[in-house]
Structure formats: structure tokens, C-alpha cells
Structure 1
């Protein structure tokens, strides 16, 4: 009984810290952008991702991601499918030390076909990351904050890999619409904001602030273990030579224990075949 006030105090403290930090950073960025008065180049993009989470007992899960994206070529072609931009393979390991914390690590390979903000074409990137996710609320709606430290090794024109670090902080809200939890037949809304800062590297210039990413959209649970999401993502990249804005439209599919269900289904077919004497 005595732990409840402490939990409420901790949550209120986290809310205030997140709110103050976002207001401060966004105010600084707005003032910086207004003072510089730089021109803005806008890109239209489309991306999709397939994700599968495989459970390994009560504390561990594995996750696999496969994704790709396309981009416009301003000012001549504003179609989000004008040119292939990127594809990637990513593998995660997640550990749940408590009901509110998730600790993660991933290793990913990116094929950067055409990345406008770093002017990279037909090169590769190897990316590692450590991530901590804290669930502020999980009953009725989901509110979480996420911190990710990425080690990016990007191939340059000389075909050598340049390394730099990037820190990402996100606040994400998920609200079921026609139910209390996300399960088969439930629609839900998603909104998040993420700030990126990075170290200096020749391939990414010397800017400390990388970008701000605002995402809104919704999803639908096709089954208890399969979801589809339609999202709009706005990325703002302030740069000395001119600001960049990416408007991205996303379709994502998320599965749970897809490989295990496929394996169990095949095993059931084999047993049924044996039972029938085939």
C-alpha cells in the first residue's frame, strides 16, 4: 500500500521532465530555424515493414524486421515511388526485467540505395543499438518512453565505413478505440514524437541535432497476433545549407510467433498424415 504514492510521484516526475524537455528543445529549434531563414526542400516517401516477435519464455523475445522505402526526387518528380531509397534486415533480442521495463539490442544491415540527407547512393550501413523502453502506463492505453543509442557504420565514397553515434529519445502513445486492449477486431490510434542527436562525422556533417520525427496514424488487429498499421511520419532536419522535410507514408505489418505457428501447423499436418496411414 505504501508503494502507490511513490509510483505516482515517479510518474508525475517523468511526465514533467519529458514535457519540459520537449518544450525547451522545440523552442530552441524553432528559434534557430527562424533566425537562419533557410530554404526548405521537401521529400515525399513511402515505406513498409514486416515485423515478427518470437517469444522465448517469460523474460526474453526475439524480433525480426524486414523493411524498404522509396523517395521522391524534388523538384522534378514528387512521387513517393520515384526511386528506391533503402532496404534493411534487423534482428532484435528483448529482455523484460520487470513489467514496466524492456531492454533491447539489435544488429542490422541497411542497403542505402539513395539517402538524400547524407547523399549516400548504393552503399551499405551496419548498425548496432542498445535500447531501453519504460512503460509509463499499460492499462487502458499505452504510454511509453524509449531511449536508443545507435552505433552507425556508414560506407563512404571510398568504400570504407565511417562510424558515429546517434541518440534517439521517443514518447509514444497508443489508444485502443473499440476495446480496452488490442486484440482481434480492435482499431487503435498511434502518436509519437522522437528527437535525434548525433556525434560529428564527415559523411553526416557537424550538426549535433539530427532531426525530429512526428508520427500519427492508426492500426487494426486482424487477429490476436497480427496487426496492420497505416502511419504518416513527418521528419524535420535543420541544416546550415537548407532544411529538409520528409513526409513519409507507411504501411507496417506486425506478427507474433509467426514461425512457431507455422512450425506447429506443419507438425500437426505430419501427425495427421501418420494417423491416416499416409
Structure 2
């Protein structure tokens, strides 16, 4: 900042001596505009560099964690593995607000089998609703949400079966956007779990994900396009002291494909495997998930009703 002020003073003195006060003021405004633009460009470049370095560091930790828990842990720990089958459905309703801001309403349901029963629709494990707020830049997307989870029959799996309030902040960085999309996501969740006698217990969880999306018959996802998705995500254990003592919780591998019926309506089917290592026994969840994504849904609904 001091070099900028020094240059400005020399500039003004020079123009006052040569062209007079009026010309000096005019050219000073031009100089201020150039300096502001330069400072803005430097700030944006520094922010993008910081985000990219942070996401690269996070991806490195993610890779190391995945390699350790997928390769080293199964070799070192020989325990009994319990497997469950699940079915998820998820509905996303996205609405642009203004400029780079958008809103999303997210509702879904989780069905699960129980030990000794492979039926993925045996129990209605969870219902949830979330409200998101997104702010999107060219290579970075910042989001926050708050939501309500209802667990009607989850107590059959030795859990409380009580409601939960969940909030989160997350950032997504797009390393590559064409010809395929490669992104990294970091999410920090705040869980408020209802207990029978103690009210709400607060705990936190950190999730790190890398995701790849590739269209098969188009350059981008649009009407009539088919696309593939694959992601790898690592979860910490949900705990009150997760920031001081982070512990590995689970690993989720997801692959799937989707189809765009219109530019604003997408259907996607995925398979995911959640792996929970434990010293005594290991848990594995095999899940089929169907996602419905509706963009500009209020505008499209209004146009449909007015036809």
C-alpha cells in the first residue's frame, strides 16, 4: 500500500507542474481506477491460490487415509464383517436467487435391512429435509445448510430412534471442468442428537470427498445427455472433540450414471459401499440410491400451470 501512495504522490506532483491542477486531478482518478483494479485482481488470485492449496492438501490427506484404511487395516485386523443392504432416494429442488446466489431444498428417505435379513426395505430408517444456500464462483462453491432428520425405526439397529438437527458448511473446488469435471469437497457438520433423558447432545463430523463426472454423448450435462459419476469420501467419527482428536470413521465409494430428461430435470442411479472398520467387527453397507434433481423448478412449475 505504501509504494502505491508514494507513486501516486509523485504522479500528482508531476502533472501539477506540467499540466496544471485540473489535468492532475483527472489523471489521478485514472490512476486510482488502475490501482483498484490491480488490488482486486491480486486479492482474487491470492484467494484462488489459497483455496487451491487448501483443497490440494485436503486431497493428499484423503488419499493417504483411504490407502491406509483400505489396504493396511484389512490386513492388520481380522474381524467379523456385518453387511446391510439399503435403498436411498433423494430429491433436490434448486432455485437461482440473484447473481451468484442460489437456494436448494433437499428431501430424502433411507430404507435399510437388518442383521439376518437382506431385504433393503425392511425398516424405514430415516427421513430428512434440508435447506441450502449456495454462493458460486468460477472454480469454487461455498454452501451452508440446516436440516431435520427423523429416525422412525432406527432404534431397531441399537440406536436411539430420535430426531436430529443437522447443520453444515461446505466448500467445493473444481480442479477441472472440461472435458470432465473433477472436484474436491470439504464439509463440516454439526449434529444435535435428541436423547431421551439428556436433551440434545452436540457432536461434529468432517467429510472429505473427491468426485469425477463425465458425460458420454455431450460436452456438458444438458437435455438428452448421459453421464457417469464416481466419488470417494472419507468420514471422521462423529464426536464432540473431532477437531482436537480426529478419528477415522468410515469410507464411502460411489459409482453411478444419470440421464438428463431436460436441461432442468436429471435422474441419477448410484451404487455406494460404506465401510466402517472396528477392532471387534466391521460394518459394510451396500446401497442403491436414486436421485432426482430439479433446477429452476419454481419457474418451470409456474410456466406449466399457466399453459
Cα RMSD of the aligned pairs, angstroms, is 3.0
Residue 67 of structure 2: SS of its match in structure 1?
helix
Q: Contact 2:155–2:161 (CA<8 Å) still a contact in 1?
A: no
Q: Which residue of 2 aligns with 1:272?
A: none
TM-score by length of structure 1 reads 0.84
Q: Which has the higher strand share?
A: 1
String of CA shifts for 1:45-69, please: whole Å, max 9, x gaps: 0010111100012210000011001
1:19-38 alignment, distance < 5 Å: 20-29=60-69, 30-38=71-79
Distance 1:12 1:57 in 2: 26
Task: Select 1:60's aligned residue among 89, 101, 116.
Answer: 101
Q: How far does residue 241 in structure 1 lie from its aligned partner after superposition? A: 3.3
Gaps in structure 1 of 5+ consecutive residues? 270-278
Q: Are 1:45 and 2:86 matched, yes or no?
A: yes
Q: Which residue of 2 aligns with 1:70?
A: 111
User: Which has the greater radius of gyration?
Assistant: 2
Residue-pair matches, total: 260
Q: Contact 2:135–2:143 (CA<8 Å) still a contact in 1?
A: yes
Q: Which residue of 2 aligns with 1:126?
A: 165
Q: Contact 2:268–2:292 (CA<8 Å) still a contact in 1?
A: yes
Gaps in structure 2 of 5+ consecutive residues? 1-41
Distance 1:100 1:116 in 2: 42
Q: Which residue of 2 aligns with 1:154?
A: 193
Q: How far does residue 143 in structure 1 lie from its aligned partner after superposition? A: 0.9
TM-score by length of structure 2 reads 0.76
Q: Are 1:86 and 2:126 matched, yes or no?
A: yes
Distance 1:243 1:127 in 2: 26
1:137–1:207 Cα change, 3 Å: closer
Q: Contact 2:62–2:208 (CA<8 Å) still a contact in 1?
A: no
Distance 1:91 1:23 in 2: 31
Q: Which residue of 1 aligns with 2:287?
A: 248
String of CA shifts for 1:94-144, please: whole Å, max 9, x gaps: 012x21111100001001234489832431010010011111111221111
Q: Which residue of 2 aligns with 1:221?
A: 260
Residue 138 of structure 2: SS of its match in structure 1?
coil
Distance 1:187 1:11 in 2: 31
1:12–1:141 Cα change, 3 Å: same
String of CA shifts for 1:182-240, please: whole Å, max 9, x gaps: 111100000001111135359xxx98211111100100001110000010010001123
Distance 1:150 1:227 in 2: 27
Residue 223 of structure 1: SS of its match in structure 2?
coil
Q: Which moved more, 1:45-54 or 1:110-119?
A: 110-119
